[in-house]
Amino acid sequence: MWRVGAKLVVGATLLGGGAAGVNIFTSDDISTAFNICTLVPLRLLRDSLTAATIAFDYGYSLWGLKEGSIEWSKAKHEVHNRCALRLQELCFRNGGIYIKLGQHIGQLEYVVPQEYVHIMRTSMLKRCPFSSYDQVCKVLTRELGGLPEEIFEEFDPVPLASASLAQVHAARTHDGKKVAVKVQHTHLTDTATADIATVTLIVNALNWCFPEFDYRWLVDEIRESSPKELDFLFEARNSEKCLENFKRLSPHIADYIYVPKVYWDLSTSKVLTMEYMDAAEITDLIAIQRLGIQLYDVSKLVSQAFAEMIFRHGFVHCDPHAANMMVRPLPCGGKNLFGQKKPQLILLDHGLYKNLDFVTRVNYASLWKALIFADVNGIKENSVKLGAGEDLYALFAGILTMRPWNRVIDPSVDHLVLEGSDTDRSELQMYASHYFTQISELLRRLPRVILLMLKTNDCLRAVNHVLLQGSSLETYLIIGRVSSKAVSEAKIISSNCSILSGLSLWLEQMLLEARLFSMRIALWLLQIQKTLYYRTTKEI
């Protein structure tokens, strides 16, 4: 095990040093190249030492223990915790792209041990490093031509929040509008290339030492998406396109979705000035309830919004974690049947979007339709079309739903519902651990756009878990309805518009509505049953 660690340290550092030297002699910008080349060896050495320490810790801690025994399980839990903390420390020390990588890991419930998911998820969204006010001033001067107090009437030097790539400051324009100014961290311009290079090298080295550890797809995704996320004008255009899609393709919920207005004259690729949003974070349950909004209604709206984006728009916000969504009462008023205010969902951080081409979108919608209705043939057919293969379609279905195969094909109406209990969590952990090798192979096969859909799916599941302490049948009814509508629309587009085909599609839609209605009745009965059980238990 020490030999493997030494190979990682020496090989990665030499390779990084060689790449650094080549970069200096081939780059047009010598100062930037030199800065990168001084960072690459240091970061590679830090990465390699961390990876070697983790590899040694696993080998030493589990040496001689019988797999599956109580001692082995206890030791494995402890080493998972230690190594997750080491990885967390590495991400914080390197910052930038590494924070982004840590956030990705925090969403991979079906791939990495729960200890890593918990530590990364609880730290990477809330403890990102801050740039100093002097650094912020330098960015604003370079990008907008003046100091904050010159560009704005008011500018709060204390940031509202900081993320992996930027931090946000409250400000007020000279015409009195309150705005949020997103300022990119200064070091990212010079370190992004180095970060991607070092992460690529270390993941490739780990794959060389441990062939079953293949996360090269994750590095490929970061390499492709990072330049887009670092261009705030690209993010601004995405936000406007997102809102336009709802108005054009989903007008029935367009009023319930909002994105902050962009002030283009105060925005560049490194600075984004937006409308200030006075709203509650999506997982701040107390704040949402104080606004007079039901958590159940928020969960439904989140499910509806992303189902529309995925299955009908084909233009998907792929980073919907808790810090990127807010809630406020619907500005035009409106209340639900019980008199509570209706929510409006505010989407933030539009840097990471993916386009689903027509065929992929229809196949993915068809797969979810089959999952909702426990259609075994439909699940297999569309999983194979998306790249899972004849041998791993059941595993793909399990990852999408976080349920074992016997539950996926269970005909009961609530077969996909997750209660958020300890039993559910331990079942999922066992499932991921038992099928680790097959999961790695599946992720290697799937198109990267589907991998981003899996990440999006996991982010939404985490938000719903906070809102509802699990998932709800209503969520799956929404997914079933929207995915089925997308499939029907695709059939209309591809049909020859004959009377017979039109009649067939109409009949199919009527049967679908009848089935959804019966599921809704079942949902209503289940809710009554749970309410009666709760009251009876409380009285006892």
Backbone angles phi, psi at 315, to 5 degrees: -130, 105
Residues in the chain: 540
Token pair, residue 279, equals 């709203």
Q: Which helix (H) or strand (E) holds 500?
A: helix 499-539
Please tell me whether residue 418 adopts helix, strand or coil conformation: coil
Q: What angle do CA 227, 229, 233 make, to 5 degrees?
A: 100
Query: What separation in angstroms does the CA of 55 have from each of 198, 434, 535?
Result: 18, 20, 52
Please tell me the distance from the alpha carbon of residue 511 to that of residue 494, in angstroms, as a whole number. Answer: 21
Please tell me the distance from the alpha carbon of residue 277 to that of residue 261, in angstroms, as a whole number. Answer: 10
The answer to whether residues 109 and 458 touch, using CB atoms and an 8 Å cutoff, is yes
Pairing of strands 166-172, 178-184: antiparallel
Please tell me the distance from the alpha carbon of residue 443 to that of residue 453, in angstroms, as a whole number. Answer: 12
Query: What separation in angstroms does the CA of 430 have from each of 112, 403, 436?
Result: 11, 11, 10
Cβ partners under 8 Å of residue 531, min gap 6 = none
Smallest CA-to-CA distance from 440 within 112, 35, 92 is with: 112
Q: Which residues carry out catalysis?
A: 319
Smallest CA-to-CA distance from 130 within 91, 98, 165, 89 is with: 165
- Say what angle helices 295-308 and 232-249 make with each other, to 10 degrees: 100
What's the burial of 66, exposed, middle or buried (CB within 10 Å: 0-12/13-18/19+)?
A: exposed
Pairing of strands 257-258, 343-347: parallel
